[in-house]
Amino acid sequence: MRTIELGVTITDAAVDEKQTTIFCTPVARDARCPDCGHDGRYRDTVVRPLTDLPVAGYPLVLRVAIPRYRCLTPQCGRSVFNQDLGKLAAPRSSTTRRCARYVLRRLMIDRTTISAIAAELGVSWHTVSTIAMRAVADLIAAAGPDRLDGVRVIGVDEHRWAPRRRGTAGFVTLIIDLTPVQDNTGPARLLDLVEGRSAAALASWLDKQPSAFRAQVEVIAMDGFGGYKTAATAQLPEATAVMDPFHVVALAGLKLDLCRQRIQQLTCGHRGRTGDPLYGARRTLRTRWPLLTAGQQTRLETVFAEDDHLGVMVTWSVYQRIIAAYAHPDRRRGKAMMTAIIDSLRRGVPAVLTELAQLGRTLWRRRHDILAFFDHHASNGPTEAINGRLEALRRNALGFRNLTHYRLRSLLHSGALHSLVNAL
């Protein structure tokens, strides 16, 4: 049980069906008053129960016999005091210090729920939750501004933390440190999350950070949401905004689907049904051309042979060209290909191809952010990965109602706080 490292020695033990109880006393007596520092006179002994790490699958309670002393200094405001337990437990705590580290490791590394940890320790859900939240807050406070040192590339994304809340009330903005991924030194980490998904949400968070942090940020990766672009331009004027390739390709794929659905209605007079050529090729159209089998390529060629499907073929060709530009091994060549695509959509798109015209306007408006990817190669993929991990956290906990609680649990889950746990 390693109680000697806690400064106590075992005097007795008892076991029942629910828990193991260990009776112990401090190894050394310390009669110093915590206020004046002078030695006091022994008064009596009190027993303090402390929840410790479970043993052999059973909860463990340490019943520590703590000496109490009377301060003999007239000027001291404290008359009676307990001996300080030091490494064993914090003042007025119901658990040992190493129990707090155990709770954090179970939540952080093992991805265990608070209910399961409460059952292991034999305490209530609220006790474990309070321990975890207080410990995480202490970790973040202890790290201070140093936690933001070296952050040069950040990613921004929205995240729905409360699906049952309507409108923007259930959304938060995630700020992710992508520098380790960019430097190939480790995984991305969550820096913070703020309520809302708007320019004001991101701008307010950036405004609260030290000026040294804002000055060192070089690249900010984001999706196509214009609010984040506005906040980044205002708060990080020297940083380069990069629109993530996934969202560019997803936008082009959405326009392809809309074009296919419109022409489906024009040619058949109804939504897609089994046997309709366009409906049967809907998944094949969204697949990259080199990945298609010979049969799938033949199916597409048959669909494109119809004159009525010309608009789908043109939109599909743009979609495939965008994918090819991002996939090109030479970044300079890929950037040139993407520039040519944006220019061609800007110069002339037939009026009947409304979806392609909308895509061209969006790509032109965000062209600098799109082309910046080829220079910096900063992807928001790790941000989406952390977004997914937080969704798994929410499902594992059966949902959250308190945003402050959710923020601390998210930082513990994806904030790379492992190195700070031992400091507790």
DSSP letters spanning 324-353: HHHH-S-HHHHHHHHHHHHHHHHH---TT-
| 225 residue type, one letter | F
- Domain finish residue from 74, 89, 104: 89
Strands (DSSP E) found in 186-327: 189-195, 219-222, 240-243
pLDDT for res 329: 93
Same domain, 365 and 267: yes
- Whether the per-residue pLDDT at 374 is higher than 90: the answer is yes
For residue 71, tell me if it sits in a domain: yes
The SS3 call for residue 224 is: coil
In the beta sheet, which residues pair with residue 157? Answer: 174
Find the mean pLDDT for residues 49-71: 90
Same domain, 366 and 402: no
Gap between the Cα atoms of 339 and 367, Å rounded = 8
Same domain, 317 and 281: yes
Helices 245-268 & 354-365 angle (0-180, nearest 10): 160
Find the mean pLDDT for residues 45-66: 91
Q: Are 278 and 260 in contact (CB under 8 A)?
A: yes
Identify the band that residue 78 occupies on the pLDDT scale cut at 50, 70 and 90: confident
pLDDT for res 2: 73
Same domain, 80 and 24: yes
- Domain finish residue from 89, 106, 137: 89
pLDDT for res 249: 95
Q: What mean pLDDT is reported for the chain?
A: 90
166 or 29, higher pLDDT: 29
pLDDT for res 289: 93
Q: Are 413 and 108 in contact (CB under 8 A)?
A: yes
pLDDT for res 1: 66
Give Cα separations from 244 to 220, 222, 223, 363, 372 (angstroms).
Answer: 10, 6, 6, 12, 10
For residue 195, tell me if it sits in a domain: yes
Task: List the domain range (segments joined by +) for residue 354.
Answer: 245-376
Same domain, 313 and 402: no
Same domain, 6 and 59: yes
For residue 354, tell me if it sits in a domain: yes
For residue 423, tell me if it sits in a domain: no
Q: Are 35 and 77 in contact (CB under 8 A)?
A: yes
Domain total for the chain?
Answer: 3
What is the pairing mode between strands 240-243 and 219-222? Answer: parallel
Same domain, 400 and 354: no
For residue 220, tell me if it sits in a domain: yes
Find the mean pLDDT for residues 324-350: 92
Same domain, 280 and 393: no
- Domain finish residue from 89, 114, 133: 89
The sign of the CA dihedral 203, 206, 212, 217 is negative
Per the listing, tokens 């580290």 go with 101
User: Which domain CATH number covers 406?
Assistant: 3.30.420
pLDDT for res 202: 94
For residue 168, tell me if it sits in a domain: yes
Identify the band that residue 77 occupies on the pLDDT scale cut at 50, 70 and 90: confident
Percent of all residues in the chain with a pLDDT value above 90, rounded to a whole number: 63
pLDDT for res 90: 84
For residue 105, tell me if it sits in a domain: no
pLDDT for res 135: 87
Same domain, 239 and 253: no
Gap between the Cα atoms of 112 and 117, Å rounded = 7
Same domain, 284 and 162: no
In the beta sheet, which residues pair with residue 192? Answer: 175
Q: Are 242 and 254 in contact (CB under 8 A)?
A: no
Per the listing, tokens 């008064």 go with 43
Same domain, 384 and 358: no
Same domain, 331 and 239: no
For residue 181, tell me if it sits in a domain: yes
Q: Are 64 and 85 in contact (CB under 8 A)?
A: yes
Nearest to 365 by CA among 262, 250, 225: 225
pLDDT for res 424: 60
pLDDT for res 422: 64
- Whether the per-residue pLDDT at 97 is higher than 90: the answer is no
